[in-house]
Structure 1
């Protein structure tokens, strides 16, 4: 899919959220500027990366490194304090709210893989070598340190999984 088509989808996913639109467009442009690992750095990628970091991280307070793998239609709601480790993988149609942290337990260790159509509540923390399954929900303030099955909801600290068929 072409970059402009992906950006258009991101803009539509963040309709009514100008800050979210700015973040996802800036991420897509910086990510596209970045050279593949097996090629030399493009001379113009460095200034793009610097502007991206200054604008998104320093001014807006959102850390999504430009080498992070992010699927289509990422949605950023009330984006302040979002931290995504560059080893994290985000699928399509993921929703991040304020103060969400996705990363590893210690430097160099694996990060979460977030499948498609996952929503994170404000202040959710997901760390470690785990998978958040398709259609899962992570509640506000949840601390997740083990995989969340597809369709389940993780709530609490430590997080407790509620499967779709189980009573509340």
Structure 2
């Protein structure tokens, strides 16, 4: 409930946006980590698991419950979106359809991206492995990012070429 209205303000479709509801399901599940009692966490976790599966089925969005997500994340278009549970996303970011934010190798399952604030991630982009994306970065459509992207840069191509933003 802490971010509900803050998140809602950035969705043009308001309560009808599938991305908004997928984000709220994530926030519901993530909130249980404030409690240590298994009598609270287990039933809460079961409810979240059910809602999370509905989100995957109906919206095509999977957000790992242990991910750290800041305020006002916009999931612009739903469908084929995966956010790894060990990843971190800052405030005011935009994610479009078919984006994967995840690990790069099966042998390193917990190595996930850290994404700064005000990051715009284009449709089909893949951000893989233990990489850091700075603030105010644009990731181009279908880019495959496997190395760090500094603040105020863009990443485009496969594999992504990193260039400073033109002012």
Is the shorter-chain TM-score for this pair beyond 0.5, marking a shared fold?
yes
Give, in whole Å, the separation in 2 of the partners of 1:61 and 1:119. 20
Q: Does 1:101 align with 2:100?
A: yes
Runs (5+) with no aligned partner, structure 1:
none
Cα RMSD after superposing both structures:
1.8
Cα drift, residue 165 of structure 1: 4.1
**Structure 2 counterpart SS, 1:63:** strand
Q: Does 1:35 align with 2:33?
A: yes
Q: Does 1:14 align with 2:15?
A: no
Q: Give the conservation status (yes or no) of the 8 Å contact 1:15–1:21.
A: no
Paired residues for 1:57-136 under 5 Å: 57-107=56-106, 108-136=109-137
Q: Which moved more, 1:21-30 or 1:56-65?
A: 21-30
Equivalent position of 2:53 in the other structure: 54
Cα drift, residue 15 of structure 1: 2.7
Task: State the TM-score, normalized to the length of structure 1.
Answer: 0.88
| Alignment: residue pair count | 161
Equivalent position of 1:152 in the other structure: 153
Cα drift, residue 147 of structure 1: 0.4
Runs (5+) with no aligned partner, structure 2:
none
Give, in whole Å, the separation in 1 of the partners of 2:66 and 2:110. 17
Cα drift, residue 46 of structure 1: 2.7
**Deviation digits for residues 67-116 of structure 1 (CA, Å, limit 9, x no counterpart):** 21101111001110001110110111111100000111124241110000
**Deviation digits for residues 14-52 of structure 1 (CA, Å, limit 9, x no counterpart):** 2326112222222222221x234x824324313321222
**Structure 1 counterpart SS, 2:78:** coil
Task: State the TM-score, normalized to the length of structure 2.
Answer: 0.88
Q: 1:25 to 1:150 in 2, by over 3 A?
A: same
Cα drift, residue 54 of structure 1: 2.1
Q: Give the conservation status (yes or no) of the 8 Å contact 1:11–1:25.
A: no
